[in-house]
């Protein structure tokens, strides 16, 4: 244990920064080469800070979800914690043996067989051969690569590689387990097994750091979350609140200025001006959780009397198929003439994916404004059923809110 580090703390990060230098293309001429000798190397390189002044503490037994968009610094942080790369500035203190599963290719020697790599990893973790032997059959059974355990891992598919690598990392009893999004390589059934095993590991009081874009898995597994943006930790706390903060990042992009759309049909006497999604607490959101209540707010340029007109919103999936339709013409009770309309949707039951909308406005049976394939938005998984698992892909666009009796 590091000097001055409390017994209950597994990881402490202080002032951590990581800088990468991106070299500029050089002039290949003799003149260019001679000229470069008189310039400082810093002048020829662009600097990129993947992490900047990161500070946090992880206690023993905590299960931490690390959340952020691509490029936020998540993978760089895990590589530093796994001692794959060194920080430019700052200090890391770790109390316990670390096993990590980051990108495919990390941790195994390609020329060695699966069996030899299991023992090698155990040795790296400080385990005796006898300790590894006691776990060996369990590791192989979990991974499902029994037939290939004596084959060099360079011949494994990415799925086989990840299955064995995860089995090794999870079963050799590290005190700290670090897992990146690499689990996405496996099939849905194996991902389910991995999440179950990670729950078991967490239940044994070991520390887990988990990076994933699967919000349902993070919400079901993690007790706490860190939100990264631009190399900084901008959020920390209960997993659900950090996920909500992540969902609302860049919410301004989910206010669509429909008034500026050029490609539209109709006489344009009145127009759609804007559209935006509103989630819990009436906040504008840029991602929608499956099976949660949501509001689609549509603004018109002039007052609209729905007794003489109709507003339709068609929702299309990424293939252009119509998956849902909202129409004021199908409602019994209609509001008074106004410019702002809220479509309140209970249990928004579209499956995770990317969608867009068509906006149609007709008045006195005359087409006034029609905009197609605009307002792209994303639906993401949520652990609505409280089982810590996501909805499988390719199971249709519609989710049912169901019970079994």
Integer Cα distance of 349 and 328 in angstroms: 20
In this prediction, residue 4 carries a pLDDT of 52
Contact assessment for residue 106 and residue 179, using Cβ atoms and an 8 Å cutoff: no
pLDDT for residue 25: 46
Q: Where in the sequence of the chain do the CATH 3.40.50.300 domains occur?
A: 9-21+49-248
The predicted structure's pLDDT at residue 351 = 86
In this prediction, residue 42 carries a pLDDT of: 46
Burial status of residue 333 (CB atoms within 10 A of its CB: 0-12, 13-18, 19 or more): exposed
Q: What is the CATH code of the structural domain delimited by 256-380? A: 2.70.50.60
**For each of the chain's 405 residues, which pLDDT tens digit applies?**
344 556 689 999 999 999 988 654 445 555 555 555 555 444 455 788 999 999 999 999 999 999 988 788 998 999 999 888 999 999 999 998 888 877 655 678 889 999 999 999 888 877 889 989 999 999 999 989 999 999 999 999 878 888 888 888 888 788 898 988 766 555 667 777 888 888 888 888 889 999 887 777 788 889 899 999 999 999 999 998 898 888 767 554 566 789 888 888 999 999 999 999 888 766 777 788 888 889 999 999 999 999 999 999 999 987 778 899 999 999 888 888 999 999 999 988 888 888 889 999 999 989 999 998 888 888 887 776 776 666 666 677 777 777 767
Q: What is the pLDDT of residue 388?
A: 65
> What's domain 9-21+49-248's architecture?
3-Layer(aba) Sandwich (3.40)
Cα–Cα distance, 129 to 21 (Å, whole number): 42
Q: Cβ distance 343 to 313 under 8 Å? A: yes
126's torsion region: left (phi>0), alpha (psi -120 to 50) or beta? left
What pLDDT score does 207 carry? 93
Residues paired with residue 21 on neighbouring β-strands, in sequence order: 47
CATH 2.70.50.60 region(s) of the chain? 256-380
Question: Which residue, 293, 245, 254, 259, is CA-closest to 276?
Answer: 254
Could you give the CA distance from residue 350 to residue 339 in angstroms, rounded to a whole number? 27
Q: Which residue has the tokens 């490609």?
A: 263
């Amino acid at each position: 244990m590091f000097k001055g580090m409390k017994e209950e703390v597994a990881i402490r990060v202080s002032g951590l920064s990581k800088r990468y230098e991106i070299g500029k293309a050089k002039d290949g001429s003799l003149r260019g080469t001679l000229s470069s000798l008189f310039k400082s190397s810093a002048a020829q390189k662009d600097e990129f800070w993947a992490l900047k002044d990161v500070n946090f503490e992880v206690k023993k037994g905590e299960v931490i979800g690390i959340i952020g968009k691509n490029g936020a610094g998540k993978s760089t942080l895990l590589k530093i914690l796994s001692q794959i790369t060194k920080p430019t500035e700052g200090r890391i203190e770790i109390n316990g043996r670390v096993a990590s599963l980051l990108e495919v290719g990390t941790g195994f020697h390609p020329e060695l067989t699966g069996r030899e790599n299991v023992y090698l990893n155990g040795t790296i973790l400080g385990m005796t051969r006898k300790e590894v032997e006691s776990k060996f059959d369990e590791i192989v059974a979990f991974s499902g690569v029994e037939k290939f355990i004596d084959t060099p891992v360079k011949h494994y598919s990415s799925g086989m590689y990840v299955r064995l690598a995860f089995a090794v990392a999870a079963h050799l009893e590290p005190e700290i387990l670090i897992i990146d999004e690499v689990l996405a390589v496996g099939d849905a059934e194996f991902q389910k097994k991995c999440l179950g095993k990670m729950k078991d590991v967490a239940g044994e009081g070991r520390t887990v750091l988990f990076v994933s874009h699967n919000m349902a898995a993070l919400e079901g597994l993690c007790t706490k979350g860190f939100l990264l943006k631009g190399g900084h930790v901008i959020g920390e706390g209960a997993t659900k609140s950090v996920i909500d903060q992540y969902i609302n990042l860049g919410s301004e992009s989910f206010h669509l200025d429909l008034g500026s759309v050029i490609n539209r049909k109709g006489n344009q006497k009145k127009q759609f001006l804007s559209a935006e999604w509103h989630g819990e607490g009436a906040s504008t959101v840029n991602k929608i959780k499956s099976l949660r209540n949501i509001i689609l707010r549509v603004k018109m340029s002039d007052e609209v009397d729905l007794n003489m007109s109709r507003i339709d919103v068609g929702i299309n999936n990424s293939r252009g198929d119509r998956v849902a339709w909202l129409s004021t013409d199908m409602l019994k009770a209609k509001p008074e003439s106004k410019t702002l309309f809220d479509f309140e949707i209970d249990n928004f039951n579209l499956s995770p994916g990317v969608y867009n909308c068509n906006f149609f406005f007709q008045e006195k049976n005359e087409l006034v404004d029609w905009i197609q394939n605009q307002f792209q938005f994303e639906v993401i998984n949520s652990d609505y059923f409280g089982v810590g698992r996501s909805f499988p892909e390719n199971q249709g666009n519609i989710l049912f809110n169901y019970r079994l009796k």
